[in-house]
Structure 1
Amino acid sequence: MVAATMSYFPGLSMTTTGTTAISSGGFHFFRFRADSKPQPMTLGILAFDAAKTISRLVALYRSLTDAEFNRLRKEIIRSEGVAYLNSRDERLLLNLACAEQLEDLEVAVDAISRLCARCSNRSLSRFDLVYADLKQGLIDIGKLDYGSRKVNRIVEKIEKYLSTTASLYSALESLTQMETSERKLKQWKKNFKENPLQKTNFDLFESKIAFQRKQVRSLKDVSLWNQTFDKVVSLMAKLVCVVYARICILYGPYISKLPNAVKRKQQQNNIRIHPETFAPIMHRDESRHSMWNSGPITSTSKKSGLSKFHSRELNVNMLLLPDKASLLAGLMPGNSCVSEESSGGNLWRNNVLLHSAARTTVGGAGLAMRYANVIMMAEQFLQGPGSMGEGARGQVYEMLPAQLREKVRAKLRGLRSGGRGGGGGREMAEGWREAVERMMGWLGPVAEDTLRWQAERNTEKQRPGSLDTKGRVLLIQTLHFADVEKTEAAIVEVLVGLSCIYMYEDTRSCYYESD
């Protein structure tokens, strides 16, 4: 074990068993003994991987403001699409949101741990022990004031490094292209005799590439490229602790297993900002049953034949365990958006939340992306009926699973046999249009967020030259935990409505052509 002397907060003193010693002092994440160390290494090419991790941390930091948390509770969770397709159980949805944010933070911690191995100071290589102490509640993380002047300076410094690293990546791309042209130019000069005009152009190109090389060197000096592993790891570790502390403060009233890290003064300030947050849902009405139904469009309709979608009752005391066990271990058996197979096991590092969806959900059935694309194409057809050609409609039809195709055909047959098909005239078509527009008003945003969630998490395609630190879409905003029967019923209604609109438009166009 490595013993490190670290200063976190003023007036705080504690020692963890054989691993870390925390003494009083200013807000300095690490303060080390002066001993002989090798020359610190700089990040070099690893700067771009570090930048991706830092952008993830900053995005997570930005998503934890009071305004964003209130938006989560008052807008996102209560939105029609989330409430109908996922659940009306606010506590369940908040637990899932917290689990996803902690999982994102865990991914960043893994990346930091890999960088720690290259730190020249041995104390920094044991950040995993510090983070473990944080999760055990052994460190007073209430001292890490989210949004304080010191923390804001850290975030500003990190964002400056991100900006210059992104500029460096773009500059290196341009330099690579210019050097390729330079090699071709040298080869051409060997084979052909240049004239005076060409010599002028060659000189201009050489001056441009010289300036580009100078710019790259300058950007390396001010970006993450030339920063030491010790410095970068220290900054990232500070931000991890700040983010974890903030998550505990925001979600603590709903998840009792999170460390109670909020000091009295800080807690009073948070109660003043949004008092309803600190009135835990499970204590508001203990006599009320905690089962909620997600409100179906036609919950009592005999036509839909859909059963109500119940959320399992939560045992929040078991939801977030400090030993990296499944975030969902406290869910009781029953119909839910979370599967029983994922209710245990040390799966945190393997996207446990993503793989926890029950088979009765769209994500559990592996249909989230497919259905999202179908819905987005349907929205395009609704906005421009002229784009509903045979080829486009055939493409959407091929994207549907076999059972959904049969449901669409059966619905259309029923409408035709009842005389309510596309030949019903303008009023019928307008009625279908209004109905489809109402459904797309809540179904479209969920599908759009599904595609956005996938794009944001695809880090392999994320270019270091265009790092985004804005807040990210949460999994509860997508189709992943949506009830598959409700989702398919909504898609069927939309596609049938579009078919009726198309048949009316096609009949009308044929009538005008015959005239």
Structure 2
Amino acid sequence: MFPFVSEVSSLLGRAGTAGLGKAVEVLDTLGSSMTNLNPSSGFTSGVTTKGNKISILAFEVANTVVKGSNLMQSLSKDNIKHLKGVVLPSEGVQNLISRDMDELQKIAAADKREELKVFSGEVVRFGNRCKDPQWHNLDRYFEKLGSEITPQRQLKEDAETVMQQLMTLVLNTAELYHELHALDRFEQDYRRKLQEEDNSSTTQRGDSLAILRAELKSQRKHVRSLKKKSLWSQILEEVMEKLVDVVHFLHMEIHEAFGNADTEKPVKGSQNNHKKLGSAGLALHYANIITQIDLLVSRSSSVPSNTRDTLYQGLPPGVKSAFRSKLQSFQLKEEQHTIAEIKAEMEKTLRWLVPIATNTTKAHHGFGWVGEWANTGSVMNRKPAGQTDLLRIETLHHADKHGTESYILELVVWLHHLVNQTRVGNCGIRSPVKSPLCSPNQKAIQLCMNKTNCSSPILTVEDQEMLRYVSKRKLTPGISKSQEFDTSRTRFSKHNRLSKSSNHSPTSVLNYKSIAD
């Protein structure tokens, strides 16, 4: 599933502290020990078995509760209205995914169903760990929910109340997570101080040891208090009852939000799944390419050659193969456009494409583990009203591969001409910082140095000093002009904020023309 809230199989395992090693071992066994399957479907009647406290499993349960809370929030009336009225009709979604609103609603509904599937799957796993067999094999019960699509007002009110209760427990669990680490540090400090006392004959240090002992005692008391107020001390069976109610409610809510779009699978998405960036595992890569293009446009006069080289090396094969022919068809028009005009043309696409790329990067780098919740405050209140987690349809996940590459190709061609026009503004000289392979000849350098109007602000102070140095220096026999120029460039690299790689060989730099040739 696309990680709007990333799954974390072992929250305590991230901490890596010595005092919680046992907790890591416990969490690593999750999912490996399953109870025997109950042949009955649904719930069973009879005497309820007294369950055990959730204990160390609290952090896993908290992570699942947050997933359910985020999904519930995304299905609110305001968020569904925003989805249908703002997100789906947006230029990025329409250009990259589909212009068919019915198709887009089916895709959005399918995404919510997949989120629910992940959430309910974790609830099933927790149910199988219960002592009471009525919570075993809940997947069979959840499968029957497909035939129940009649909204129940009471269920909605109950589910919202239950989620508020669970989120209160989650916030206390988040605090417990950090206080356990603090307790571990207190214990380490106390043991270290105790060892120093044993190895020392000085009696004056007893006061500091007493202070540490008091702090440790206070921290242990605080942790015990938090355990009582968090999921740690809850009975797993009691929490399971609440989670099952939430699953049932979310099933109804998705159908109510999307109606008929929820009953049918997206036709285009299912048939052309191999052409979508998400299913091909390319969404994040293409997002990085778009971000690099945007950076080069904003800094077209002062971008290191290795940054441009990285962009071209990472271009999709289809874009690389089409670049040459596209460039030739554009060549005659190049002198007709100024730098401002080229940037304006690129901005027409970048203004809606860059936000989609940014969303893709955020979604892939998102977390969901309990430590983050404590750092950002209440999950329910950490965002302004009406906002929710990023939707998958707001990213490149569902974007058409061929269509996205077409936009990238167009931008790369425009970028080529932007750099050429920038070079014209530099008296026809390509900045050595941009491309060491394209060394200016001595005559061009001398002409530029003698003309007062050639002191273009596009050239940095370091570039101008470099040009003066090369124009006065005699060439070394046996090496090419480009190598000679690159040798001189190293004299200024320490003072040039754009030169960040001392081992960047000029023969490895890929300039724009090399791709066309």
TM-score by structure 2 length?
A: 0.67
- CA–CA separation in structure 2 for the residues paired with 1:402 and 1:485: 12
Counterpart in 1 of 2:409? 492
Please point out which of 138, 143, 155 is paired with 1:132: 143
Q: CA, structure 1 residues 488+143, in 2 after alignment: closer, same or farther (shift >3 Å)?
A: same
Rounded to whole Å, the distance in 2 between the matches of 1:203 and 1:496 is 71
- Kindly indicate whether the alpha-carbon contact (under 8 Å) linking 2:127 and 2:138 is maintained by their aligned counterparts in 1: yes
Map 1:168-207 onto structure 2 (within 5 A): 168-194=176-202, 196=204, 198-207=205-214
Distance in structure 2 (CA, Å) of the matches to 1:67 and 1:18: 40
Unaligned residue ranges in structure 1 (runs of 5+): 1-16, 22-29, 258-315, 320-327, 341-356
Identity %: 24
Alignment check: 8 A CA contact 1:141 1:241 kept: no
Please report how far the alpha carbon of residue 382 of structure 1 lies from its aligned counterpart in structure 2 after TM superposition: 3.2
Please report how far the alpha carbon of residue 491 of structure 1 lies from its aligned counterpart in structure 2 after TM superposition: 1.3
CA contact (8 A) 2:175 2:226 kept: yes
Closer/same/farther in 2, CA of residues 195 and 109 from structure 1, 3 Å limit: same
Trace 1:129-278 onto structure 2 (pairs within 5 A).
129-137=140-148, 141-146=151-156, 148=157, 150-194=158-202, 196=204, 198-255=205-262, 257=263
Residue 452 of structure 1 and its aligned partner are, at CA, apart by 2.5
- Whole-Å Cα distance in 2 between the matches of residues 126 and 367 of structure 1? 36
Partner deviation per Cα, 1:216-255 (whole Å, 9 max, x = no partner): 1111110111111011111111111111111111122334
Shift of 1:466: 5.4
Shift of 1:180: 3.0
User: 1:438-449 to 2 correspondence within 5 Å?
Assistant: 438-449=348-359
Does the aligned pair in 1 maintain the 2:190–2:209 contact within 8 Å?
A: no
Kindly state the Cα deviation for residue 430 of structure 1 after the two structures are TM-superposed.
0.5
Contact 2:150-2:252 at 8 Å conserved across structures = no
Q: Is the 8 A contact 1:57 1:108 kept in 2?
A: yes
1:400 aligns to what?
Answer: 315
1:51-450 correspondence runs (5 A): 51-125=62-136, 127-137=138-148, 141-146=151-156, 148=157, 150-194=158-202, 196=204, 198-255=205-262, 257=263, 316=264, 319=265, 331=267, 336-339=268-271, 357-358=273-274, 360-385=275-300, 388-415=303-330, 417-418=331-332, 420=334, 428-450=338-360
Are positions 1:49 and 2:60 aligned together? yes
Counterpart CA distance in 2 for 1:110 and 1:506 is 58
Structure 1 position 414, deviation (Å): 4.4
1:400 counterpart SS class = coil
CA-to-aligned-CA distance 1:264-320 (integer Å, 9 cap, x gap): xxxxxxxxxxxxxxxxxxxxxxxxxxxxxxxxxxxxxxxxxxxxxxxxxxxx3xx3x
Q: Quick one: structure 1 residues 404 and 191, their matched pair in 2 at CA, closer, same or farther if it must change by over 3 Å?
A: farther
CA distance in 2 between counterparts of 1:420 and 1:242 reads: 59
Report the residue type matching 1:212 in the other structure.
Q
Q: Kindly tell me the number of residue pairs found equivalent between the two proteins.
A: 386
Contact 1:51 1:165 in 2 (8 A): yes
Q: How many Å separate the matches in 1 of 2:119 and 2:48?
A: 30
Q: Residues 316-351 of structure 1: CA distance to partner in whole angstroms, max 9, x if unpaired?
A: 3xx3xxxxxxxx5xx3xxxx44336xxxxxxxxxxx
Note the C-alpha offset of 1:104: 1.2
What amino acid maps onto 1:100 in structure 2?
D
Is the Cα–Cα contact under 8 Å of residues 134 and 141 in structure 1 kept in the other structure?
no
Amino acid at match of 2:340: E
- 1:4 aligns to what? none
Q: 1:119 to 1:428 in 2, by over 3 A?
A: same
Aligned-residue RMSD, C-alpha: 3.1
**Structure of larger gyration radius:** 2
Cα deviation, 1:405-442, whole Å, max 9, x if unaligned, reads 34345444544x42516xx6xx6110111111221111
Q: Determine the C-alpha separation between the residues in 1 that align with 2:196 and 2:424.
A: 65
Give ranges in structure 2 of 5+ residues lacking alignment: 1-38, 428-453, 456-463, 469-517
Report which of the two has the higher share of helix.
2
**Do 2:87 and 2:394's aligned partners in 1 also have CA atoms closer than 8 Å?**
yes
Counterparts in 2 of 1:94 and 1:419: CA distance versus 1, 3 Å: closer
Does residue 501 of the first structure (1) align with residue 391 of the second (2)?
A: no
2:363 corresponds in structure 1 to 453
Distance in 2 between the 1:189 and 1:491 partners?
67
In 1: Cα distance, 2:282 partner to 2:250 partner: 33
Tell me: CA distance 1:363–1:127, structure 2 relative to 1, closer, same or farther (3 Å): closer
Q: Distance in 2 between matches of 1:209 and 1:155?
A: 34
